[in-house]
Structure 1
Amino acid sequence: MEKRRKGPIGRPRGFDADEALEKAMRVFWEQGYEGASLTDLTSAMGITRTSMYAAFGNKEDLFRKALERYEEGPAAYVARALRKPTAHEVATAFLNGAVDTCTRPDCPAGCLGVQGSLASGETGRPARDLLADWRNGGVSQLRDRFRQAVEDGDLPPGTDPLHVARYLMTFANGISVQATGGATREDLQRVADTALRNWPPA
């Protein structure tokens, strides 16, 4: 039986892929998908285009990986909020997390999931569709959590879980846009507090 030949041993990348992805995420977060050129990305990542393609794929692939990193890092407050024991605590943690993430002094303002494809043209359609699906996924997660809250008696009978989920997501998206426009953390926290005073929304 003929033995399969082993290919050449690959050379080490010579850069920290995790650190490079973190930097790419920040470029996309600050400049959006279309606003971030390959030169911007590779310069921030400290690698060549060839290395970027080899490690992460094309720009769309890189953006997808950057969004996953964002979800696991700055946007991890969503998963933590969903684990809270009551619906009101879920809503509070979700909106407070949005305020905190959108106004961090060491990060770009706003939310990558909202800002990433604003003002994108036809070439930005893949990113726009990806982010729309990402946001809709967040609404679905909230809806399922609030559906459970209704079944458990934690929310009043007849409460529409989807309506409640969209209510929160609309505020969170608005917080992102306002943060990008220069609204302060204090201003946005007051917005979140006002939204929570109408809980559960009628």
Structure 2
Amino acid sequence: MATDQRKDTTTRHPRTAAGPRKPSGRPRAFDRDEALATATRLFWENGYEATSIGDLTRAMGIKPPSLYAAFGDKRKLFEEAVEAYGRSPYGVFMGQALAQEPTARDAFARILREAAEIYTDPSHPRGCLTICAATNVTPQNAEVERYLRALRNRNLGVFEARLARAVEEGELPGDADPAALAGWFALVIQGMSQRSRDGADAAELHAAADLALRAVWPRA
């Protein structure tokens, strides 16, 4: 039987072992929550001014364009990190104590006791992020310092309101000054944060907390 000698003129495309080519220029995917947690620790440890975009992207394992696309700029990332810190156990313990304890004395005793433990916990940076992250900034970053100051002053207002209630309920004498007492506790807490950064251990901070409480409730 004769065979058909005509050539197959169908166009054939060579196959490649690599398969279809992937689109180029796509940013590498990353876990945004993990990246934010990493940024929070860096700002907490080093402060706003000393933490550069290079520091952040190296720790996050991303490129600067990915950081800007996900968070905006450094300041917006910082503010989001502060908000995340405020929702964490390290940031909510004061509000929880004020809301849950039956007396002002119990609330402030718990705040100071937990601050002594949290500020010296070796599993994370020492001190309080909102207290220590912008203690020294250049004029161009003054807005960052004002942002943190506003947060601290908001806490001061919450302290004052709780202490005013203590006066109304007879827990504190009628001539007690809630604003001055609120400032006293804020001063003690901020001092505890700085002392922890300077190397103080929990025992030292607990001793300072006891003295601070006795100054307000000497017989309690």
TM-score (normalizing by structure 2): 0.82
RMSD over aligned Cα, in angstroms? 1.7
- 3-state SS of the aligned residue for 2:135? coil
Letter in 2 for 1:17: R
Letter in 2 for 1:81: A
Give the structure 1 partner of residue 134 of structure 2: 117
Letter in 1 for 2:155: G
Q: Is residue 87–residue 155 contact of structure 1 (8 Å, CA) maintained in 2?
A: no
| Greater C-alpha Rg | 2
Q: Alpha-carbon deviation of 1:13?
A: 7.5
Give the structure 1 partner of residue 16 of structure 2: none
Give the structure 2 partner of residue 51 of structure 1: 66
Q: Alpha-carbon deviation of 1:153?
A: 2.2
- 3-state SS of the aligned residue for 2:49? helix
Question: 1:82-134, CA deviations, whole angstroms, 9 ceiling, x for partnerless residues?
Answer: 11210101111111222122111111111111110122111321211111111
Q: Distance in 2 between matches of 1:151 and 1:46?
A: 54
Letter in 2 for 1:24: A
Q: Distance in 1 between matches of 2:149 and 2:126?
A: 19
Gaps of 5+ in 2: 1-25
Q: Distance in 1 between matches of 2:217 and 2:81?
A: 34
Tell me the matched-pair count.
191
Q: Structure 1 residue 132 and structure 2 residue 141: aligned?
A: no
Q: Structure 1 residue 15 and structure 2 residue 30: aligned?
A: yes
Give the structure 1 partner of residue 14 of structure 2: none
The structure that is helix-richer by fraction is 1
Q: Is residue 27–residue 66 contact of structure 2 (8 Å, CA) maintained in 1?
A: no
Q: Distance in 1 between matches of 2:139 and 2:190?
A: 23
> Aligned to 2:171, which of 154, 174, 190?
154
Q: Alpha-carbon deviation of 1:195?
A: 0.8
TM-score (normalizing by structure 1): 0.89
Give the structure 2 partner of residue 4 of structure 1: none
Q: Is residue 112–residue 189 contact of structure 2 (8 Å, CA) maintained in 1?
A: yes
Letter in 2 for 1:139: L
Q: Distance in 1 between matches of 2:141 and 2:43?
A: 12
Q: Structure 1 residue 87 and structure 2 residue 101: aligned?
A: no
Q: Distance in 1 between matches of 2:105 and 2:69?
A: 46
Q: Is residue 143–residue 161 contact of structure 1 (8 Å, CA) maintained in 2?
A: yes
Change over 3 Å in CA distance of 1:13–1:159 after alignment to 2 = farther
Q: Alpha-carbon deviation of 1:46?
A: 2.2
Give the structure 2 partner of residue 24 of structure 1: 39
Gaps of 5+ in 1: 1-10
Q: Distance in 2 between matches of 1:53 and 1:155?
A: 51
Q: Distance in 1 between matches of 2:161 and 2:60?
A: 38
Letter in 1 for 2:64: R
Q: Alpha-carbon deviation of 1:12?
A: 9.5
> Aligned to 2:194, which of 169, 177, 195?
177
Give the structure 1 partner of residue 182 of structure 2: 165
Identity over the aligned pairs, expressed in percent? Answer: 39
